Structure formats: structure tokens, C-alpha cells
Structure 1
Amino acid sequence: MKTRKNLSIAIIVLLSILTGCGIYTEISVSSDASLDFSKYKTFAWLPDDIDTATSPYNNEIIRNNLKNYFGRNFSERGFSVNLDTPDVLLQIVIENKKKEAVYPIYPRTNYYCSYYYCSSYYSPYPYNYYYHHYNNFYCDNKGECTKKTTYVEGSITLNVIDRKQHKIIWSGTAKGDIYDDAYINRDIHPAVLRIMKKFPVKSIERKTTSKPDVVFNH
């Protein structure tokens, strides 16, 4: 009983770690390395496409929250809003794709239960011995079983556009769960932090609060 309890605790801890680490599986950035980004001082947002408010994963509330998150980060980097002649234009692109994942269901040795009272495979429903009748659970003629799940992979892309040159000078993308209420309702969405860490212009607050170099007098 103690061993089974310890195993349950270990599984819970592992799932927590995987959930926490798997929010964003990929961060990608493209940048014009020939530019001096410090010359840009003002920004404004490009208007959204008229069709962006038709999806539960891409609606006006989500987009406005993301604009607030990004706008705050640009302000911390010394940028100010200019609706007339901004140096750069910001654009948010949200994409969602339905995907399938197939996981192996590994056999286990039944040291702590009899054959009739213990399933031979790990399952998210360990006490449902008829789980194999669900469509997302499959066993081949060799006895190897898999579970198939469907999920939505989302991505946030921030495009920074030089208004005068009409070209994208920087772009950052984060893939992951961008619409979870646990993250949408935070002060700063974690995807924004991950993207903005890659931006060439760093936070002014971070610069001023950095520790000075230590000088040793001889």
C-alpha cells in the first residue's frame, strides 16, 4: 500500500513538471541584423482583420489582452505610442491547428494485485476496465496498446514593421496554449515574456537596476 501511494505521488509530481514545462514548446525569432533598433522610439498597432473575432481561440478579448501585454513591454523599453507617425507598426497573428498525438500505453507488472483486479496497462481511467472500448484506445494483435488524443496547438506571432520602409524588421513566435484562463488572466502572459526576451531592445528598468561593476582598490 505504501509503495502504491509513493508511486501515485511520483506520477502527480511528474505530471506537474511536464505541464509546467510544456506551456511553450518552441520560440522562434527572425530579425534584420543590419538595423540599429535603438533608433525606433514610437509605435502603433495595425488594425485587426475583420474576421479575427469569429473563433473562441482568436477573439477580440484575447487580442486586446495581448496588445496590452506587448504594449506594456514596449513602454518598459522606452517606446511611446504615436498614432500619427509611429516609427514601427505592431501586428499580432494568432494561428490554431487541430492535431493528434499518439501515446504508448506501457504494460506493468502486477506485484501488488491479482490478475482479476488490476489492469495490465496504465490508463487515465485506472478503474475503468472497459476503457479499451473507447475509440481513442487501440491494441494491435501483438498486445501493444496506444492512446490517441486530439488537441489544439496555438501560436502567437508579433510582427514589428518599419512604417517608412513597409517591411517586417523583427518577428517572434511562441507556440503553445495561449488561451488558458490561468494565463490570459495573469498580469503578463508568459508567451509575451518569452517572445520579448528575444527582442533586441531591452527593458530600461532592467538596465538601471543592474548591479555596478565591483572595483577593487589596491
Structure 2
Amino acid sequence: MSTIVPVNVVIERSDAMIRVIIADDHPVVLAGISREVAQNDKFQVAGEAANSTELVKLLESAACDVVVTDYSMPGGRFGDGLTMLQMLRRRYPDTRIVVMTMLDNPALIRSIQKAGVSAILSKGDKLSHVAPAIQAAFGGTTYFPKSVWDVLNADGPLNQQDEVRLSKRELEVLRLCASGMPIVEIARNANRSSKTISAQKSVAMKKLGLNNDHDLYQYAVATGLLSQVQ
């Protein structure tokens, strides 16, 4: 059985083994995933991290083939969610990623895909999905358990472009709301009522399956909406 390695410790490995770093801000979850990985003779646990600061520190010091990381892991210097995933893909392009999440929003799951992640697990899945997800990510193939496929298919075909289903006004309202502009100010600038702007925002978010402003912001970051705000 492989040994779980503390943060920042580098270990040697057999070329036949896949080196894995696990990141989660919940100690019990982190321990459970690490134990599941360590007991597989095809894997070697290269380290554990509780946030993006520790994860990047590990990646700078330990050889790693696959990162298994929680999606929501606040408190780190490099953020979490899509911001962290996009940073990891830019900074460590040869390191594969498996994302664990409680998200049940198809737009956000697709955004994780667009960030370059091909293996996504629900935290409600059995631990038995961890090993095949790591192997799929390492091999550059897709791994989605049924729970994730169900979310992705909840609002239509996987290749459907979410923005196409929005009117120009709805898209503009979402852009401005995602940038942090208050609805009252958006209404004043557009010479419309706050009630109208609020309704357009609500309809647009419903079309995309977004539940709150945090979801909207994450979606805007992933799809480039924020970069289009003048």
C-alpha cells in the first residue's frame, strides 16, 4: 500500500504508477479520498492540500500527473472554482485534473469542461469512481458518472450554446449584473424600470439554470461575459 505524503514532501515513484495530489478543505473528505487512492497499486499519493495555496506549493515541489481537487475550496491565495482551475491549466498544462463538486447546474458543469477538465465527479458518488476518473484523466479521456451526465443533460444537448437562447437585452443585463452593477443603475442607464431589468435578469438566469449571483459570476467568468462589459 502506498503512503499518504504530507504537503510539500516529494517522493520517488515507479514509472508505472500515476502520481496524484489530492486537494479538499474538509479533512474527513481529504482523508477518505487519499485512502482510496493510496490503496490502489497503480497510484502514488504525492501530497495533500487544503486550499489553492497549498496545492500550488505542492505542484511546485512535487512531481504530479493528476490533481484530484474539490471545486469549492475557499481561503487560498489562488482562489477556487473556475478561477483556480483556469490557473492550473495555464500554469501546469501537462498535469491532468479530476474535479469533485456538489454543483448541480449544467451551465457551470459545462464551464468546468471548458476550463479543460475532462473528469468530473459528484461528491455524492461512491468512492469507487475515483480510480477510473484518475485513469481517464491521466489518459486524456472523459469520465463522467451517471450523476454528472444527468446534470449535463438536464437542459438539452451537450453542444447547445447557452448564449444563443438569450435575447440581446437579457445578455446585456447578465453582463452588467455579473460585473457588480446594481439593478437600479442598469435600469437608469437603459432608461427602463428596475422591475423590467430584474425580470430580464430572472428570466435569463432561469434559461441558463443559474440559481444565484454566485452562479452568475462563475458562469460569466467561464464564458467571457465579464470581458465584454464596456
TM interval, short-chain normalised: under 0.3
Structure with greater proportional helix content: 2
Normalising by the residue count of structure 1, what TM-score does the alignment of the two structures yield? Answer: 0.19
Answer 1 or 2: higher relative contact order, Cα 8 Å, separation at least 6.
Answer: 1
Normalising by the residue count of structure 2, what TM-score does the alignment of the two structures yield? Answer: 0.19
